[in-house]
């Protein structure tokens, strides 16, 4: 099942994608793709609906962020062995965790804004995990029971803020528009995360062409691990790291500028297309 939020920014409605790839309006059934709707009972209720019984969304509707009311937006750093190598950093012995501000979340095709004064805004295609059930101290064996599904995330990053300004990485990760997610939330029964092709192009040039199979810490372990340090609530997002090909790793480094265009995709999870503009 592919769940979406569609419509004008700030006024998105819940929807699902039918067999013809069209958006069906779920606003008469649930208030949003958020919270308890993402739990096992909520998803089973949606699966029982005949999509053809739902009204079609207006043609050309904007895709919003596929999850509403996100509480925690947690990211995992250096979680791909080949990306750690291009960054000149060692593979960590435990997951590196940091937060992206939920206020940075935007739709998959919304404009990405370069922060004022930034000279090192970078791109990162990532597999994002969406929590469906409240998770605290869960075992690795049971971790996927707490997952609703997966989506594409572009973990946009300002490298000078992240690395050169002292303190933690968070300050380079949560700027406005730095968290495009979607277009869809794909429920976990339709996704095998072991070997998903992950791609990102800038101005038509393929710069990231990797796979989730080089992920160091896999999804079940990450959900288990993070739940030892905090309570994960339905609708929380964990974005799990990026394969190589980021601008910081190029020689010389290359960063985004106004007028650039990105295309971001993960097999089975859809495609994002973002223009870049000055903030």
Tokens of 227: 């739940």
User: Using CA atoms, how far apart are residues 50 and 67, in angstroms rounded to an integer?
Assistant: 22
For the segment 25-53, the average pLDDT, to the nearest whole number, is 98
Tokens of 134: 């409240």
Lowest mean pLDDT among 44-48, 166-170, 212-216: 166-170
Supply the mean pLDDT for the chain.
96
In this prediction, residue 91 carries a pLDDT of: 83
- In percent, the amount of the chain with pLDDT more than 70 equals 100
252 cis-preceded (ω within 30 degrees of 0): yes
Cα-flanking dihedrals φ and ψ of residue 41, to 5°?
-65, -40
73-278 carries CATH number 3.30.1330.60: no
Give pLDDT tens digits for 208-256. 999 999 999 999 999 999 999 999 999 999 999 999 999 999 999 999 9
Query: What's the pLDDT band for 86 if we cut at 50, 70, 90?
Result: confident
Closest CA to 168 of 75, 242, 84, 258: 75
Query: What's the pLDDT band for 82 if we cut at 50, 70, 90?
Result: confident
Q: Return residue ranges of the chain for CATH 3.90.850.10.
A: 73-278
Which residues on neighbouring strands pair with residue 98, listed in sequence order?
A: 75
Full-model pTM: 0.96
For the segment 134-157, the average pLDDT, to the nearest whole number, is 98
For the segment 182-187, the average pLDDT, to the nearest whole number, is 98
In this prediction, residue 109 carries a pLDDT of: 98
In this prediction, residue 208 carries a pLDDT of: 98
Does 89 score more than 80 pLDDT?
no
Does 85 score more than 90 pLDDT?
no
H helices present in the chain, as ranges: 40-47, 81-86, 159, 219-226
Residue given tokens 């730095």 in the structure block: 178
Q: Is-contact 239 174, C-beta < 8 A? A: no
For the segment 173-180, the average pLDDT, to the nearest whole number, is 98
Does 83 score more than 80 pLDDT?
no
């Amino acid at each position: 099942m592919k769940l979406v939020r569609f419509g004008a920014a700030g006024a998105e409605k819940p929807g699902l994608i039918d067999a013809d790839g069209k958006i069906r309006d779920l606003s008469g059934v649930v208030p949003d793709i958020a919270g308890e709707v993402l739990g096992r009972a909520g998803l089973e209720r949606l699966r029982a609906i005949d999509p053809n019984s739902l009204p079609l969304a207006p043609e050309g509707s904007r895709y919003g962020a596929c999850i509403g009311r996100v509480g925690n937006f947690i990211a995992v750093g250096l979680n791909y062995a080949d990306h750690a190598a291009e960054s000149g950093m060692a593979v960590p012995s435990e997951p590196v965790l940091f937060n992206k501000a939920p206020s940075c979340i935007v739709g998959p095709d919304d404009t990405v804004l370069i922060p004022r004064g930034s000279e090192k805004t970078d791109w990162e295609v990532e597999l994002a995990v969406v929590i469906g059930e409240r998770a605290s101290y869960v075992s690795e064996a049971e971790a996927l029971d707490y997952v609703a599904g997966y989506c594409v995330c572009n973990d946009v990053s300002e490298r000078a803020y992240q690395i050169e300004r002292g303190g933690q990485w968070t300050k380079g990760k949560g700027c406005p528009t730095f968290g495009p997610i979607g277009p869809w939330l794909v429920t976990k029964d339709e996704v095998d995360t072991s070997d998903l092709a992950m791609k990102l192009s800038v101005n038509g040039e393929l710069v990231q062409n990797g796979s989730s199979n080089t992920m160091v810490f896999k999804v079940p372990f990450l959900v288990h691990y993070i739940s030892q340090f905090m309570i994960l609530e339905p609708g929380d997002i964990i974005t799990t790291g990026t394969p190589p090909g980021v601008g910081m790793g190029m020689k010389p480094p290359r960063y985004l500028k106004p007028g650039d265009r990105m295309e971001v995709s993960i097999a089975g999870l859809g495609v994002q297309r973002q223009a870049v503009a000055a903030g």
